[in-house]
Structure 1
């Protein structure tokens, strides 16, 4: 096991978090097991976070702040820690996403990350990163906090019908995910449209993309490939993609009709049926 004193607090947000936890725990005169008992976890977990073997969650951080009377120190720091767990090429986009006042997205295969349930995210992220799955899921869910702000961004999602039928994680995971989409209908700043198969060829045949708008800053277009992301504020690209997105919205089902389709797929495809043989639910 790596000793905390051997860690370089400046190496990463996670290293800094671990060193701060040990410093403040020892300043409070508490052993790992004693602090664990106070915040309802094991001393082993405290040790794993101190040595960067585990990534802290926001709930864990809030309990630390309460136990150590640190005035929100860990609650503020954990955002940086979780952001650092995102792929390096995605971190810059995540920072811009958190600042955006208007997000428009077209998703051709998967539910948009900000709208994914934990089980759905776990199934998606577990395909290629099973060794760091907990950290990846925690980071994705933490991105969703922007939707819970007092001033959340306006979010408009055009979701390809294919994403409703692509079974991620099993029947129950998909049913819960579609139910979650339906539960978001009451949020006045969020709209979901489904682009139906009947639309045929359309303005986003090249794949998923996002458009971010800001107060006082240029718009940004974002797209990604297998292991990289590309952001641009090029006015011509923004103009073309904005027109393309407007066409997608026009060709998609209305929000009401989209909700009806999501509900129908949820019941007919992911109703109370046995899981296919050999298919585990995440």
Structure 2
């Protein structure tokens, strides 16, 4: 167990966060339990965050900043903490997502992480490994904060129809996940198209990929394997995948038809069943 007295704020962003939280709490003359009561968390949770044994969430950080009058310090720090908790091979990709002005994704079998609900993300991340699942889920969901920036990226997702039928996490989870996709229907910056089974052979048969576009920098293509990610700015690869994406968008259902299909799948496959 980490001793708070021995906590080194320079050891990691998580340690620095814990150190600052403790400093701010003590300056406010609050015990861990008192602060927990104010934030609607347990004192034990506050203690675990202060000792770098628990990863703070953005929600916790916003509440703590308000309670401690810290002018958004913890809210700023939590983004560094969450990024540092990503697998080393994915940290560069998270940075690319943060800087991108446009993200164009094709998924063959599941919903993209930037569009996942909490329960869906837990099911995906816990499929083979249940360790630290709460923290890993929180870290994944925190990446979605890029849509809350003053200038969020344009996000375009082409999703294989198979992802709608792959019952990830159970019926309730899928119903919630599909409802979440429909919630973006009126958001012009987040666009979702389904590539239907009827499209047959298509330009994405080699697998999922993302194209990240930037203001003033070359585009990057990202593909992913088991435990590894592969970003590349190779011009030939970027040109090839950009062309493939154009064809995938052309073969996919329109935004309106996509929403209609999602509603139909929600009702027919994941709707409430009478006994």
For normalisation by structure 2, the TM-score amounts to 0.96
2: distance between equivalents of 1:75 and 1:14?
A: 13
Say how many residue pairs are matched: 275
The residue that corresponds to 1:279 in the other structure is: none
1: distance between equivalents of 2:133 and 2:167?
A: 19
2: distance between equivalents of 1:257 and 1:24?
A: 52
How far residue 220 of structure 1 moved from its aligned partner, in angstroms, is 0.6
Worse-matched range after superposition: 226-235 or 20-29: 20-29
The residue that corresponds to 1:176 in the other structure is: 176
The residue that corresponds to 2:7 in the other structure is: 7
The residue that corresponds to 1:125 in the other structure is: 125
Within a 5 Å distance, the mapping from 1:8-87 to structure 2 comes to 8-87=8-87
1:159 is aligned to 2:154: no
Task: Decide whether the 8 Å contact of 1:82 with 1:135 is kept in 2.
Answer: no
2: distance between equivalents of 1:183 and 1:198?
A: 25
How far residue 152 of structure 1 moved from its aligned partner, in angstroms, is 1.6
How far residue 32 of structure 1 moved from its aligned partner, in angstroms, is 1.4
Once the two structures are superposed, what CA deviation does each residue of 1:40-88 show, in whole Å capped at 9, x if it has no partner?
2221111111111211111111121122211111010001111122111
Task: Decide whether the 8 Å contact of 1:5 with 1:19 is kept in 2.
Answer: no
Task: Decide whether the 8 Å contact of 1:195 with 1:252 is kept in 2.
Answer: yes
2: distance between equivalents of 1:237 and 1:274?
A: 51
The residue that corresponds to 1:190 in the other structure is: 190
Worse-matched range after superposition: 202-211 or 7-16: 7-16
How far residue 160 of structure 1 moved from its aligned partner, in angstroms, is 0.3
Unaligned stretches of 5+ residues in structure 2:
none
Task: Decide whether the 8 Å contact of 1:159 with 1:192 is kept in 2.
Answer: yes
2: distance between equivalents of 1:39 and 1:182?
A: 32
Once the two structures are superposed, what CA deviation does each residue of 1:207-233 show, in whole Å capped at 9, x if it has no partner?
110001011111010001000001111
2: distance between equivalents of 1:203 and 1:238?
A: 14
Task: Decide whether the 8 Å contact of 1:105 with 1:156 is kept in 2.
Answer: yes
Unaligned stretches of 5+ residues in structure 1:
276-282
Worse-matched range after superposition: 24-33 or 48-57: 24-33
Deviant stretches of 4+, over 6 Å: none
- Equivalent position SS for 1:158: strand
How far residue 258 of structure 1 moved from its aligned partner, in angstroms, is 1.4
1: distance between equivalents of 2:111 and 2:118?
A: 12
How far residue 151 of structure 1 moved from its aligned partner, in angstroms, is 1.9
Once the two structures are superposed, what CA deviation does each residue of 1:84-110 show, in whole Å capped at 9, x if it has no partner?
221111111011101111110000111
Within a 5 Å distance, the mapping from 1:198-213 to structure 2 comes to 198-213=198-213
How far residue 274 of structure 1 moved from its aligned partner, in angstroms, is 7.0
2: distance between equivalents of 1:129 and 1:78?
A: 25
1: distance between equivalents of 2:82 and 2:128?
A: 19
